[in-house]
Homo-oligomer: A and B are copies of this chain.
Amino acid sequence: MAERLAIGIDIGGTKIAAGVVDQDGVIIAKLRRETPSTSPAEVLNAISDIAETFRRNHHIHSIGIGAAGFVDATQSTVQFSPHLAWRNEPLRDSVYRRTGLPVLVDNDANASGWAEWRFGAAQNESDLVLITLGTGIGGALVIDGEVYRGHFGLAGEFGHMQVVPDGHPCECGNKGCWEQYASGRVLTRRARAAVTDGTVLGKSLLKAAGGSVEAVEGAHVTTIAGEGNAEAIEWIAEVGDWLGVGIANIAAAFDPGIFVIGGGVSAAGDMLIEPARAAFSKSLTGRGYRAEARIVRAHLGPNAGLVGAADMSRIRARRRRPANPGGRVRVRAAARSSRSPRRQR
């Protein structure tokens, strides 16, 4: 059997999404589990169970794990995860001991960025910047066909760039972080306030959420905006404005060819992307004297993380002996053909 299948596992704050992924990025089997996020041991048990289940019906060669958090440069340890109970968790070795399979661990946004570059919105691009708008903002950089991780493995934490001095307090301990202005939590915050204030939109949101204010989320704003509600559309446009301003900042520093917008909030589509493009063009320094990056919506949706993690693990496993799970090997897609100008030297 020539096909080399990999398991991709995306560990979020509340759930684990897992799949068996083939070499074309196609998910041929899928599973979901609730994440017992307070217990590293239970997360490990869940991963083991998932691997065992999949291996009953598939010949698996490797496991890729995307996790929300800081992953070290050797792609083995989750140093810190804001939503999970991990502190310096040696996840790669733990999973390897349980399964005997080569394991790769990466930040979930890096995994998603890789997937969008390989199989999604940024195929045939030399570079990409992925911005994932979920509860917060994550991100990833792909340069010249490789995930760029930074010196300490923490590149792409765009959500914590400060955009407003002394602005909204952020869970990270700082104030005015970009994700306080351009992520799903902005919509959630406004939506719940509208419910509390009893506005017309608030009543619609409460109804959409099934009657409980705690259940009101940014996604309900998107739903109601999609039905034509002008105020909800305006809220999303304001998030889009801030998205565009932040993208212009990243473009000033990094000058990529394409920005790919993923995460749950990207479901708002053009209601989000059009205002972002307008604010980006308006904010970009040197406009009129430079080419502008494209801003596009991600293609792979919520599956990007598991597809990318699986693909990275598959490529890496192919490049090293199975007996050397600890080795660091560059992950590079060998199969990409004609690439446009890369890093310009």
Contacts and interface: CB of A to CB of B under 8 A. Distances in A.
Contacts of A146: 343, 345
Interface in A145-177: 146-165, 172-174, 177
Nearest to A253: B158
A70 interface: yes
A286 B70 contact: yes
A80 interface: yes
Given A252-B158, A285-B160, A343-B146, A257 B291 contact: no
A127 interface: yes
A162 B151 CA distance: 24
Contact residue range for chain A?
Answer: 35 or more
Contact of A341 (B73, B126, B291): B73
Contacts of A56: none
Interface string A323-343: 000001111100000000101
A344 interface: yes
Contacts of A293: 151-152
A191 interface: no
Contacts of A158: 252-253
A184 interface: no
Given A73-B341, A285-B172, A153 B255 contact: yes
A156 B290 contact: no
A70 B158 CA distance: 25
Given A148-B143, A165-B164, A80 B256 contact: no
B253 A253 contact: yes
Contacts of A163: 162-163, 165
A253 B250 contact: yes
A303 interface: no
Given A157-B286, A164-B164, 10 more contacts: A149-B255, A150-B256, A150-B344, A151-B293, A155-B253, A155-B255, A158-B253, A160-B285, A177-B285, A253-B253
A-B pairs with the 9 shortest C-beta distances? A150-B255, A160-B285, A151-B257, A80-B289, A330-B345, A73-B344, A155-B255, A149-B344, A161-B249
Interface of A: 70, 73-74, 79-80, 87, 126-127, 139, 141, 143, 146-165, 172-174, 177, 245, 248-250, 252-258, 283, 285-287, 289-291, 293, 328-332, 341, 343-345
17 contacts: A141-B254, A143-B343, A148-B343, A149-B345, A150-B344, A151-B256, A151-B257, A152-B255, A155-B255, A157-B285, A157-B286, A162-B283, A250-B253, A253-B254, A328-B344, A330-B345, A331-B345
